[in-house]
């Protein structure tokens, strides 16, 4: 969203979750109360009829929907404001792994899920969504789409440990991922190890697509170019700086190596001029992404280390550092089989709904 919209406000009730979110120049994060008054909404999030898009990722099932929808209608611009929501269901790997996972999900963990989880299991098909479709009923959701993600076995268990059900069980003294049953001697480990060989035989491009760093497409880059060109003609230094940052962000995330090189050159040039330290920090991180994408891992690593000196808990920089370490380690073993614990994880069954406000 940060690549498409001028200003983004990301809200969550959990400060901890917000700290995980990527820091971007045009995104402001705001912690909110679980039930937020109109006054708080206006003061901390946005004013009446001021928002183009309300977007909810894997969270709408937790909300008090009637109250939330009333507030959505209040903040959205009239008549073209849009609400879009999506959720992802449980991961699918392959029949063998899924046959171990499914009883774990539907039996072991079932008592610890909140009743609202059913809306996600139903892929949002049954969620109340009182809005008009954007382009007629054929075009409203929920739609299904697939997101693929590479994870190693540790990542897979970390994902399960992040479930609210896992945490609830733990608070009640129940360890759902018992060592004897799942994490140590379990068949799931062997099944996943087998799966990784399969994945690597069929997906030769792990090393170009297996990280968490997003790609930016041509439309977004063009939009950022236009925006920066317009700002360059105006008087606002702040706007010039913001648009250049967005363009740099888009360029270093591009699939085209010429764009990445241009992004690097822009960032190097703008770092040479002094700017607020917070923005410098973002530039150093973006430069690290640019060098990573152009295969200059040791330069990228130096910059990531610089980021982590400034902010040791910076999640994005920590992720990039791990990605770089993995890349360097794995580049040396291409062709002789990959680390035995890596696994191809396909998260499927995602539902989405998109509608224009009534």
Ligand X SMILES: C[S@@+](CC[C@H](N)C(=O)[O-])C[C@H]1O[C@@H](n2cnc3c(N)ncnc32)[C@H](O)[C@@H]1O
**Whole-number Å distance between alpha carbons of 108 and 91:** 16
- 317 CB contacts (<8 Å, ≥6 apart)? 285, 288, 304, 307, 308, 311
Q: Which residue's CB is nearer to ligand X, number 31 or number 236?
A: 31
Q: Which of 4, 6, 14, 331 binds ligand X (CB under 6 A)?
A: 14
Report the nearest approach of ligand X to the CB of residue 59 (Å). Answer: 4
Report the nearest approach of ligand X to the CB of residue 262 (Å). Answer: 30
Report the nearest approach of ligand X to the CB of residue 34 (Å). Answer: 4
- Stretch near ligand X under the rule CB under 6 A, chosen from 7-15, 241-249, 254-262, 280-288: 7-15
**Whole-number Å distance between alpha carbons of 103 and 335:** 36
Q: Which residue's CB is nearer to ligand X, number 11 or number 306?
A: 11
- Classify 238 as helix, strand or coil: helix
Whether the CA torsion 327, 333, 335, 339 is positive or negative: it is: negative
- Stretch near ligand X under the rule CB under 6 A, chosen from 8-16, 218-226, 234-242, 267-275: 8-16
Report the nearest approach of ligand X to the CB of residue 80 (Å). Answer: 24
For the beta carbon of residue 306, count every other beta carbon within 10 angstroms: 16
253 CA to centre of own chain? 15
Report the nearest approach of ligand X to the CB of residue 268 (Å). Answer: 32
| Overall residue count recorded for the chain in this entry | 358
Q: Which of 29, 55, 62, 206 binds ligand X (CB under 6 A)?
A: 62
List binders of ligand X among 248-277 (CB under 6 A): none
Radius of gyration from C-alpha coordinates of the chain:
22
Q: Which of 9, 12, 116, 203 binds ligand X (CB under 6 A)?
A: 12
Q: Which residue's CB is nearer to ligand X, number 324 or number 351?
A: 351
The C-alpha angle 341, 186, 343, rounded to 5 degrees, equals: 25
37 binds ligand X (CB under 6 A): no
Binding mask 107-126 for ligand X (x = CB under 6 A): --------------------
**Whole-number Å distance between alpha carbons of 94 and 348:** 11
Q: Which of 13, 89, 261, 302 binds ligand X (CB under 6 A)?
A: 13
Q: Which residue's CB is nearer to ligand X, number 57 or number 232?
A: 57
Q: Which of 8, 27, 53, 59 binds ligand X (CB under 6 A)?
A: 59
Q: Which residue's CB is nearer to ligand X, number 12 or number 122?
A: 12
**Whole-number Å distance between alpha carbons of 93 and 348:** 9
Q: Which of 4, 38, 57, 229 binds ligand X (CB under 6 A)?
A: 57
Q: Which of 30, 43, 58, 99 binds ligand X (CB under 6 A)?
A: 58
Ordered alpha helix ranges (H), the chain: 15-20, 38-40, 65-75, 95-103, 117-121, 153-161, 164-171, 187-202, 206-209, 218-233, 237-252, 257-272, 277-293, 297-310, 315-331
Widest pairwise Cα distance in the chain:
66
| Strands 82-87 and 53-57, sheet pairing | parallel
The C-alpha angle 212, 213, 216, rounded to 5 degrees, equals: 135
- For binding to ligand X (CB under 6 A), which residues are involved? 12-14, 17, 32, 34, 57-59, 62-63
């Amino acid at each position: 969203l940060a690549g498409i919209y001028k200003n983004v406000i990301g809200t969550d009730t959990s400060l901890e979750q917000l700290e995980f979110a990527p820091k971007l120049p045009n995104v402001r994060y705001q912690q909110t109360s679980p039930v937020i008054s109109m006054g708080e909404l206006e003061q901390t999030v946005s004013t009446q009829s001021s928002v183009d898009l309300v977007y909810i990722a894997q969270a709408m099932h937790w909300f008090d929907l009637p109250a939330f929808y009333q507030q959505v209608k209040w903040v959205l611009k009239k008549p073209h404001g849009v609400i879009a929501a999506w959720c992802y269901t449980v991961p699918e790997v392959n029949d063998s792994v899924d046959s171990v996972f499914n009883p774990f999900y539907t039996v072991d963990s079932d008592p610890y899920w909140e009743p609202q989880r059913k809306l996600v299991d139903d892929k949002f098909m049954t969620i109340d969504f009182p809005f008009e479709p954007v382009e007629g009923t054929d075009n409203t959701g929920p739609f299904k789409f697939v997101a693929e993600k590479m994870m190693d076995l540790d990542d897979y268990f970390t994902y399960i440990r992040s479930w609210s059900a896992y945490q609830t069980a733990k608070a009640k003294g129940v360890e759902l991922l018992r060592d004897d049953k799942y994490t140590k001697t379990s068949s799931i480990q062997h099944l996943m190890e087998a799966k990784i060989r399969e994945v690597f035989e069929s997906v030769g491009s792990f090393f170009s697509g297996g990280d968490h760093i997003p790609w930016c497409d041509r439309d977004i880059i063009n939009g950022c170019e236009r925006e920066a060109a317009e700002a360059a003609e105006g008087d606002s230094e702040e706007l010039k700086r913001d648009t250049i940052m967005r363009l740099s962000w888009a360029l270093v995330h591009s699939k085209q190596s010429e764009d990445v090189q241009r992004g690097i050159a822009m960032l190097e040039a703008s770092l040479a001029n002094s700017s607020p330290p917070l923005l410098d920090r973002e530039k150093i991180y973006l430069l690290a992404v640019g060098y990573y994408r152009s295969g200059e891992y040791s330069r990228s690593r130096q910059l990531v280390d610089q980021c982590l000196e400034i902010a040791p808990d910076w999640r994005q920089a920590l992720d990039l550092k791990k990605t770089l370490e993995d890349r360097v380690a794995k580049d040396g073993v291409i062709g002789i089989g990959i680390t035995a614990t890596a696994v191809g994880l396909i998260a499927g069954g995602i539902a989405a709904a998109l509608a224009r406000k009534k």
